[in-house]
Amino acid sequence: MCSFSKILAPGMRLGWVTCNPMFAEKWDMLTDSSSQQPHGIGQAFIAELFGERGWGINGFARWVMSLCDDYRRRRDLFMDSFQRNVAPFGYASAQIPQSGMFVWIKVHLQLHPRYRVARDGHTVAGPRTNVATLMNELFHKIFDSGLIVMPASTFVVVDTASSSATEAIHDVSPLHLQYINTISKSVSSEPIIFVPPFLVLTR
């Protein structure tokens, strides 16, 4: 699944799916009963862009390759700065991403002097800690410094039927809990937990 919003312009809510014919048929049936079709202006714009008077497929391919080069340059610049200024202290680590639009950073909060493990039992995600509080503090400090990050708890998927699972992500908003509960039921019958300490850094 790909989107023009990441390679042409923000807000271009138009994309495409590369898949086998069986999946394409099911996807078409789902679209008929949900979103039905993308917005007309976006479709007209893309049609003109790929047409004889526009870039064409070859021109679009050249644009995408140049965009990849630019994102690779920005990724390398960021990772070089991270490896020189952050990694040596041992409080965070990151792998160089080979694809996608994000850098995933693991924050080693167990090294924080105020890191605590509660004595009143465990959750399904492990020992009950003050990770959420520390991550919230870190988020605001980074934001105030002019850098935008996304705590991994934003992307958590969990079976909220389990009270211990809900407690593991108690800092997630009620609307987000409703959303991830819906997603977890549609994706898997087994609970999936993904909690801090991680950051997702947009490039």
For the chain, domain boundaries = 90-202
Closest to 158 (Cα-Cα) out of 125, 122, 114? 125
Distance between alpha carbon 64 and the CA centroid of its chain, in Å? Answer: 21
- Where residue 127 falls (left for φ over 0; alpha for ψ -120 to 50; beta otherwise) is beta
Tens-digit pLDDT profile for the chain (203 aa)? 788 888 888 878 888 888 888 888 888 888 888 777 777 888 899 999 999 899 999 999 999 999 989 989 999 999 999 999 999 999 999 988 888 778 888 889 889 888 888 776 555 555 677 888 888 888 888 889 888 888 877 776 655 555 444 444 444 444 455 544 544 444 443 333 333 344 444 33
User: Which amino acid is present at 110?
Assistant: Q
* Residue in this structure with the two tokens 């549609």, named with its chain if needed: 186
Task: List the one residue out of 147, 113, 137 whose CA is nearest residue 196.
Answer: 137
